[in-house]
Amino acid sequence: MRIAGERASGLYYFNLYEEIVFMSELHLNSLEITNFRCFEHLTIEKLGRVNLIVGKNSVGKTALLEALWLLNSDACWPVIHKILYDRNELVRYRLDAMASLTPMEQQEQMGALKSFFTGRPPKPYNQTKEPDPKFLYQDALACSFVTSTERFYLALRTVQNILMCSDSRNTSIPLINGFSFQPHHCPALPQKEALDYSVIEESKKFKTVFIPLAGLSWKATCTYWDDIVLTNKENEIISYLQLLDREISRFTFKGENMQDRVRYSVVKTGRFPDPLPLANMGEGIQRIFALALAMSTASNGYLIIDEFETGLHHSIQADVWRAVFKLAHEWNVQVFATTHSWDCVEAFQEAAAEDQNEEAMLIRLQRKRDGTGIVATPYDEESLKIVTRQGIEVR
Ordered per-residue pLDDT tens for the chain, 395 residues: 666 666 554 333 334 433 333 333 447 888 888 778 888 889 999 999 999 999 999 899 999 999 899 888 877 889 989 999 999 999 888 887 777 777 788 778 877 877 777 766 544 433 333 444 443 333 233 343 333 333 222 222 223 333 333 334 444 444 433 334 444 456 788 999 999 999 999 999 999 999 999 899 989 999 999 998 888 889 888 888 888 788 888 888 887 655 556 788 888 888 888 888 888 888 888 899 999 999 999 999 999 999 999 989 999 999 999 999 999 998 999 999 999 999 999 999 999 998 877 789 999 999 988 877 899 999 988 888 777 776 666 55
- Whole-number Å distance between alpha carbons of 365 and 60: 7
Q: How far is CA 215 from CA 137, 287, 289, 294, 310, in A?
A: 36, 7, 11, 11, 9
